[in-house]
A and B are shown apart, each in its own frame.
Chain A
Amino acid sequence: MGRKLLLDKAHIEGIRYYDVYRKNGGYAAAEKALKSMTTDQVLDEVKKSGLRGRGGAGFPTGLKWSFIAKPEGVPRYLVCNADESEPGTFKDRYLMEFLPHLLIEGLLISSYTLGANSTYIYIRGEYAWIPDILEEAIAEAKKNGWLGKNIQGTGFDLEIYVQRGGGAYICGEETALIESLEGKRGNPRLKPPFPAVKGLWQSPTVVNNVETLAAVVPIINIGGEEYAKIGVGKSTGTKLISACGNINKPGVYEIDMTISVEEFIYSEEYCGGIPNGKRLKACIPGGSSVPILPANLLLTTAKGEKRMMNYESLNDGGFATGTMMGSGGFIVLDEDQCVVRHTLSLARFYHHESCGQCSPCREGTGWMKRVLLNIENGKGKMSDIDLLWDIQRKIEGNTICPLGDAAAWPVAAAIRHFRDEFEWHITHPEEALKRNFGLAHYADPLPVPQPVA
């Protein structure tokens, strides 16, 4: 059994509420940090822990915090990114829903370290019920002196505000999130300046993922060095993985990044294998934007080693043979799944979610979607495969924010590893249509279900 640091108390009845959380060791880390550590000491622990951002990019958190500008008389902000809109990713939801005080404690320690007196939780609009849970927990924390003025007599003030997003994937991108928080259209900003210099209301701002901020609590509790011993290489600590697709036990798992992909999929402790004894076909291990890998490359790296559930191993060989840890949205496809169809589904998503600022993303995502729609519906041409390849290349790397890349990578990887499947669709249009689960005319946009007369 791997070590649990975030979800170790998740099973405790009523852990959502302050009293139970406190009785079970809650707010001990906050107490330690605020009362006995300087902000530099906390930062040092986070640096030592090797914690990498859990929002997708995996950037070292301590380093990110150390970039924050500290001009005199200008407020600093911490923003918790709870937008979680990446298809396949639902780990933050679990944390917020079941362990709201863990997040608040993490926010408190992080805000203290950064010198932020106002902190925002920007939560995706579709998580309609979670803001109430958070608000309730915030009120409890405030009542018990963990928020508000002069927290626990330390002289530190903090308010946490919950802001609901309108339900746009792009608002998870940190600069778009900041724009949205300011009440504007959620369009990503051009960088530089980076949020650490000019973020929310032009003030220095750090944007971190929910899981990243929650992980600060165990780091302070057990110490950065101890945390860094868990895991392997630059993949320290534990990682939440939200597993879904064709597996027996979908759900959110905490792993310590030393287990293999094979173990994760097949062991009873985690996904419990593939239903009906079907074979594994492919997997998207880090949320929809990371490249899909076929079974053979998924279980073995380019070097012929066992593929492990950590940043380096998943990345092995670059995109030719590897993929990314991303946000940890683990999507498993069994042998019956159609890669073309899945790729179309993702292409539709990115097309729909593009903010439309830059031309390659705004126009290119729609083009890819339409070509894929033709192939899926038995109207494709052989040249369409190369065309798709060409379009994704024109988007990747040429846009303002990484949504362009996120739209391009799934298409590139699908063609790279499953070209024969695209060809089969084109050479067998009738059969492709038949195996299309009654959605042959997967129209654009999807047909609205009509009430039965």
Chain B
Amino acid sequence: MAEEKKLFKVTIDNISVEVEPGTTILNAARQIGGDIVPPAMCYYSKLQGSGGKCRTCLVKVSKGSEADPRPMPKLVASCRTTVMDGMEVANITSPEVIEARKGVVEILLLNHPLDCPICDQAGECHLQDLSYEHGVSATRYEFKRRTFDKVDLGDKIQLHMTRCILCYRCVFTADQLTEKREHGVLGRGEHAEIGTYIKESLDNDFIGNVIDVCPVGALTDKTFRFKNRVWFLKPVDAHRNCENPKCCGKTTLWMRGEEVFRVTARKDVYGEVEAFICDTCRFDKKEAKDWVVEGPRNISRSSVISQNHYVKTVKPQETIEKVLDGRKPKLLMDIHTVSEVNRPGIDLSQIEGPAHSDDFNKKGVQ
């Protein structure tokens, strides 16, 4: 009989889990799930060597292990620190961690413009989520932010360095997924920037994946840019028999009616690509007939994309009548009679795709 593998017990925010030796604190937390999972802006489980850079995943190790219970002197990057048996970790239960994370968010936002309203990544941006969770409404930074001109990296990808947070994910992607790496980080410190090899274009089979791994809106898909806001689109899982043997051909289509606006790889709960896709699938197959649609994609991340996608909602009981002993409340104004738009007969959730002005055509008012 094969010897049973010894598992390590780790306790994160008072919740214990047993994991295989070699598991990082972040991945142990992901096995537990929920709020205790540290955020990650640079780690990407599918990319070797990623992580450790952004410092958003810092946690406090209050007990090193059963054998050596001493706490670790500094906060550690949970994405790169492996668990020990008996380790105890504090994430959201540590005020020190929350404070440090707030600091990291503030620092990440120094040079990142908060231009979400015009950024193509709005709704899908991890930094946007992070700043909502940990940020403050005002910045104490009163200096000019660094800005760059937009650069077209080939005909399909646009780089806007102004928004880049130098997480290196795209560099690792290009390095590990494509045959040759044509871009990397140039310069040092605050002058560091993502750049191509003497303005070469990125035109490898799999290079489009850099768009998917970019946590912010620095790398965008030119075939989609500003054609729509993601939350107006309906994500569906689809597949096709891709000729490229390395491509799984399984994607998410972002549709409106029959129109395919955008094709991306499928992402998991942490916003990470499940399997990378080739550029043909991503950029060239933009018609519904190219694909076999499997069904709606469940976006489980707490993102605006999943907002208003009511699943299993329970209609609130009308309580006012109860309170008023069965009397109906006196309405000062009935919005339906005034607007003639929000007709009670129309159930928004029944409309195919997002609501459109045609659905509220006055002529249709009965």
Q: Which residues of A approach B to under 8 Å, CB–CB? A: 168, 170, 185, 190, 351-367, 370, 387, 393-394, 397-400
Assess A362 versus B100: contact at CB under 8 Å? Given A367-B110, A387-B140, A397-B74. no
Distance of A444 from chain B, by nearest CB (Å)? 10
Judged by a CB distance under 8 angstroms, whether B165 is at the interface is yes
A354-B189, A366-B189, A397-B75 known, 11 other contacts, Cβ within 8 Å: A185-B185, A353-B189, A355-B192, A358-B55, A359-B54, A359-B104, A359-B165, A360-B107, A364-B107, A399-B55, A400-B77
Q: Which residues of B approach A to under 8 Å, CB–CB? A: 51-56, 58, 74-75, 77, 80, 100, 103-104, 106-108, 110-111, 140-141, 143, 165-166, 168, 184-185, 187-192
Contact of A356 among B55, B56, B184, B190 (CB under 8 A): B190
Say whether A355 contacts B111, CB under 8 Å.
no
Say whether A359 contacts B188, CB under 8 Å.
no
Assess A356 versus B74: contact at CB under 8 Å? Given A367-B110, A394-B100, A398-B55. no
Alpha-carbon distance between A358 and B188 when the two chains are bound, in angstroms: 11
Contact of A398 among B104, B165, B192 (CB under 8 A): B104
Which 3 pairs between the two chains have the least Cβ-Cβ distance? A394-B103, A356-B192, A354-B189
Query: Which residues from chain B contact A355 at a C-beta distance below 8 Å?
Result: 188-189, 192
B107 (CB) vs chain A CBs: closest residue: A363
Say whether A354 contacts B188, CB under 8 Å.
yes
Say whether B106 contacts A394, CB under 8 Å.
yes
Say whether B110 contacts A363, CB under 8 Å.
yes
Distance of A180 from chain B, by nearest CB (Å)? 12
Q: Across the A-B interface, how many residue pairs have beta carbons closer than 8 Å?
A: 90
Assess A356 versus B185: contact at CB under 8 Å? Given A363-B110, A400-B53. yes
Say whether B107 contacts A394, CB under 8 Å.
yes
Say whether B100 contacts A366, CB under 8 Å.
no
Interface centre among B52, B58, B107, B187 (most CB of A within 10 A): B107
Say whether B53 contacts A398, CB under 8 Å.
no
Alpha-carbon distance between A351 and B189 when the two chains are bound, in angstroms: 7
Contact of A353 among B77, B104, B185, B188 (CB under 8 A): B188
Alpha-carbon distance between A359 and B111 when the two chains are bound, in angstroms: 10
Query: Which residues from chain A contact B185 at a C-beta distance below 8 Å?
Result: 185, 356
Alpha-carbon distance between A358 and B56 when the two chains are bound, in angstroms: 10
A373 (CB) vs chain B CBs: closest residue: B143
Alpha-carbon distance between A9 and B350 when the two chains are bound, in angstroms: 92
Alpha-carbon distance between A359 and B57 when the two chains are bound, in angstroms: 12
Alpha-carbon distance between A365 and B191 when the two chains are bound, in angstroms: 12
Say whether A366 contacts B188, CB under 8 Å.
no
Alpha-carbon distance between A262 and B95 when the two chains are bound, in angstroms: 43
Alpha-carbon distance between A353 and B77 when the two chains are bound, in angstroms: 23
Alpha-carbon distance between A95 and B46 when the two chains are bound, in angstroms: 48
A383 (CB) vs chain B CBs: closest residue: B140
Query: Which residues from chain A contact B110 at a C-beta distance below 8 Å?
Result: 363, 366-367
Alpha-carbon distance between A170 and B187 when the two chains are bound, in angstroms: 13
Interface centre among A354, A358, A387, A393 (most CB of B within 10 A): A358
